[in-house]
Amino acid sequence: MSNIVTCRGVSKVFGSGELAVHALRNVDLDIRPGDFATLAGPSGSGKTTLLNMIGALDTPSSGEVTIDAQPLGRLSNAALSDLRLNKVGFVFQAYNLIPVLSASENIEFVLELQGIARAERRKRALAALAEVGLDGLADRRPAAMSGGQQQRVAIARALVSRPAIVLADEPTANLDSKTSEDLMTLMYRLNQELGTTFVIGTHDPRVMAYSKRRIELLDGRIDSDTGV
């Protein structure tokens, strides 16, 4: 089975000369369909930078990233935008919901960008909310929702287009321990039931406990990769 993500010799340097910061150093990594993997490590280890490379949000200083058999370095800006829209789902620490839109409208926004008709958008958004246990909150705006509910909406938004991979960067960082536990249980269930591939950046041991594969980063390098 083909890898969803392949990284070969990926390095990222910010700045130059004496001020250069080597965020990633010659990273080789394969992510397979159905993986539920954590990128673990302390702050500054390279987790977010690697997620940004995998999600085509940034470009490596050297090396190559391939998503779903497409080498990112060979794609135009328009093609990269299309890939992010259709192949990758994002879940951010700060939720990144649009405050003036309801839960359903936040989810529908992705489908609108894909050119899906309004009735079909609404149908898919309601189904996605049901998958994450928010059936009755379709018309509620983010300000009227708890942090855990907002993050569930973010997960539904990431999943609604059935992307090849979902990337989550410290998704439980702003949540209490009970809500964090519920959220991880939800993502693990979606991985098991839908086969959705997850890569989660975290330094939280409670999140790592759910991973079927744990990739440890240290000083921009992969220090260990267990559960491969």
Element (H, E) at 186: helix 177-194
Tell me, what's the pLDDT at 1? Answer: 62
Is residue 119 packed enough to be buried (19+ CB in 10 Å), middle (13-18) or exposed (0-12)?
exposed
Domain assignment of residue 176, yes or no: yes
Q: Could you tell me if residue 11 is inside a domain?
A: yes
CATH number at residue 202: 3.40.50.300
Q: What is the DSSP letter of 137?
A: G
Question: Which secondary structure element, helix H or strand E, spans residue 111, and what is its range?
Answer: helix 103-113
Please give the tally of structural domains in the chain.
Answer: 1
**In this structure, is residue 182 part of a structural domain?**
yes
Instruction: Provide the pLDDT for residue 141.
Output: 97
Over residues 91-138, the pLDDT tens digits come to: 988 889 999 999 999 999 999 999 999 999 999 999 999 989 898 899
Residue 228 has pLDDT above 80, yes or no: no
Please write the tens of the pLDDT for every residue from 212-223.
Answer: 899 999 999 999
Q: Considering the domain boundaries, does residue 120 fall inside one?
A: no
Q: In this structure, is residue 133 part of a structural domain? A: no
| Assigned domain for 137 exists | no
Domain range for residue 54?
5-101+146-226
Phi and psi angles of residue 192, each rounded to the nearest 5 degrees, phi first: -70, -45
Structure confidence by residue, pLDDT tens digits, 39-55? 998 888 999 999 999 99
Residue 13 covered by a domain: yes
pLDDT digits (tens, 9 = 90+) for 152-168: 999 999 989 889 899 99
- Position 93 scores a pLDDT of 83
What count of other Cβ atoms lies within 10 Å of the Cβ of residue 211? 22
Residues for the chain: how many in total?
228
Range scoring the smallest mean pLDDT among 116-120, 171-175, 198-202, 209-213: 171-175
| Band of pLDDT at residue 206, cut at 50, 70 and 90 | confident
